[in-house]
Amino acid sequence: MRCVLVTGAAGFIGSHTALVLLNDGYKLFLLDNFSNSSPKALHHVADLSILTKEELGERVSIINGDVRDSALLQNIFSRAKSNGEEITSVIHFAGLKAVGESFEKAIDYWDNNVAGTIKLLQVMENNACRNIVFSSSATVYGSSKEKALIETDPISPINPYGLTKATIEKMLANIAGCQSTRIAKQYSPRGWKIACLRYFNPAGAHPSGKIGENPKNIPNNLFPLINQVAIGTKEFLTVFGKDWPTPDGTGIRDFVHVMDVAEGHKAALDILISSKPQLLIINLGSGKGTSVLDLIKKFQFSTGIDIPFKFSSRRQGDSAISLANPSKALEYLNWKPKRKIEDICRDSWNWQYKNPMGYK
Ligand code: NAD
Ligand code: UFG
C-alpha cells in the first residue's frame, strides 16, 4: 500500500488533500500540532471519505505532534516499519503562513518553516524516504508583476514568510543536487523526488460544508472576511485601495478552489512516485484573475447575500496583480482547475453558513 506522511494535515489545504488521497487508496499518517487547526477537521475528513470504519482504522493514523520533533518523526517511520509498512512519501504542509505576523514573529517563522523542514528532511533521509511534495507559495515571486507569473520568473520575496518559502525551495533544490529553483523540471542526481507547488490564492471549501478554512486568529485574507460580512459578524468589507493600475482600480488575484489544489497534490504525488528522481517547481493557479470588486459581485450573485464595503487606502505590502501562468501544471502534472470562481464563492459560503464558529 502507498503510505504517505502528511504534515499539517488538519489545516485548510491539508484536510482537503487528505480526503482526496484517502479516497484514492493511500494509507495516511496525519501529523499536526493543531496550532492553527482542530482535530475535528480530521474526524470530518474520515466521515466524508468513502471508507468503512474498519478501513479507516487500517488506513488512517492521526498523530498530535510537532514536525520539529525528530524523535516523534522517527517513531512514526519506525512504527510503520514494524507493522510491515513503509512511508515512501511526505506531503509537507506544516508551517506558519500569515504574512503580517511573519514580520512580528520572524524567528518563529524561520523555526517552524525552515528548521521544521530540515528536521523532516533529516528523518526522511535516515529512512531512505526521498519523495516530498512541498507547500510553496506565489509569495516567493515578490512584489507586483503586471503579467502572469511563470516558474522561471525571478524569486524576490518581500516578507519573512515568503523568504522562508524561497529558502526551503532553494534548500530542496540543493539537496536534490539541482542548480536552480527557476527551472520547472530538473533531473535529481541524488535520488530525490521533489515537487514544490507554488499556490496562488486557495479558497472555497469541500462542497459538503464539513471541512473548510478555519483561521484561529483574526483572519486577514479576503475570503474569510467576505464570509464574516455575509454571516453578519462584520459590518462591512474594507477594500484596500481603489487606485491600483487595474481596470477597476482594485487588486487582482488568482483564486483557486481548495479541492482543485488538493487534487493538484495527488497529481504531483502520483507523478513523483511513478517517475525518475526530479525536482518539479510548479504554479498551482487558474490563470484567471478576479479583482476585489469582481469578487464582491460574484459572491453576492452566487449566495444572494449583500456585501457592504468601504474603500480604504492600500494595504502595506500588497501588489496590484498576482496571477499564475498555469501551463506548466498542465504539462507536467496534467492538472488544471475544474472549479470556477462561482464554485469557490458558493462552497466557501456553504462552509461558513453551516459552521459559523468553525470547528468549535
Ligand atoms: P493552515 O494553517 O490551515 O495549515 C497548516 C497546518 O500546519 C495547521 O493545521 C497547523 O496547525 C499545522 N502546523 C503548523 N506548524 C506546525 C508544526 N511545527 N508541526 C506540526 N504542525 C504544524 O494553512 P493552509 O492554508 O492549509 O496552508 C498549508 C501550507 O500551504 C502552509 O505551509 C502555507 O504556508 C502554504 N500556503 C498556503 C496558502 C494559502 O493561501 N492558504 C498560500 C500559499 C501557500
Ligand atoms: N483585500 C481587501 N480587503 C481585505 C482583505 C484583502 O481588499 O479585507 C484584498 C487585498 O488587498 C488583495 C486581495 O484582497 O488585493 C487578496 O488579499 P488576501 O489577503 O486574501 O491574499 P494575498 O494575495 O494578499 O495573499 C495570499 C496569502 C499569502 C500568499 C499569497 C500568494 O495570504 O500567504 O496569497 O499565494 F503568499
Judge whether 315 lies within some domain: no
**39 alpha carbon – ligand 1 mean position (Å):** 14
Judge whether 330 lies within some domain: yes
**133 alpha carbon – ligand 1 mean position (Å):** 13
190 vs 174: CA distance, rounded Å:
10
Establish whether residue 26 lines the binding site of ligand 1, counting it when its CB lies within 6 angstroms of any ligand atom.
Answer: no
Beta strands (DSSP E) in 173-294 are 185-187, 193-199, 201-203, 237-240, 252-253, 255-257, 278-284, 290-291
Question: Is residue 269 within 8 Å of residue 282, measured between CB atoms?
Answer: no
Which CATH number fits the domain that encloses residue 86?
A: 3.40.50.720
Best residue among 149, 165, 292 to mutate for probing ligand 2, ranked by most atoms within 8 Å of CB: 292
Does the pLDDT of residue 1 top 90, yes or no?
A: no
Judge whether 99 lies within some domain: yes
Ligand nearest to the CA of 248: 2
189-243 pLDDT, tens per residue?
Answer: 899 999 999 999 999 999 999 999 987 777 889 999 999 999 999 999 999 999 9
Judge whether 212 lies within some domain: no
Number of domain units in the chain: 1
Judge whether 351 lies within some domain: no
Contact residues of ligand 2, CB 6 A cut-off: 97, 99, 137-139, 199-201, 220-222, 225, 237-240, 251, 253, 292, 315, 318, 322
User: Which domain, by its residues, includes 133?
Assistant: 3-204+255-285+324-338
49-64 pLDDT, tens per residue?
Answer: 999 999 999 999 999 9
Catalytic residue among 161, 199, 332, 359: 161
185 vs 279: CA distance, rounded Å:
6
- Other CB atoms closer than 10 Å to residue 236's CB: what's the count? 10
Is residue 161 annotated as a catalytic residue, yes or no?
yes
136 vs 117: CA distance, rounded Å:
12
Atom of ligand 1 nearest to the CA of 201: 40
Establish whether residue 93 lines the binding site of ligand 1, counting it when its CB lies within 6 angstroms of any ligand atom.
Answer: yes
The mean pLDDT of 261-283, rounded to a whole number, is 97
Establish how many alpha carbons lie within 13 A of residue 53's alpha carbon, considering only the half-sphere containing its beta carbon.
0
Judge whether 142 lies within some domain: yes
Establish whether residue 37 lines the binding site of ligand 1, counting it when its CB lies within 6 angstroms of any ligand atom.
Answer: yes
Does the pLDDT of residue 344 top 70, yes or no?
A: yes
Judge whether 354 lies within some domain: no
Judge whether 290 lies within some domain: no
141-162 pLDDT, tens per residue?
Answer: 986 567 899 999 999 998 999 9
Residue type, 49: S
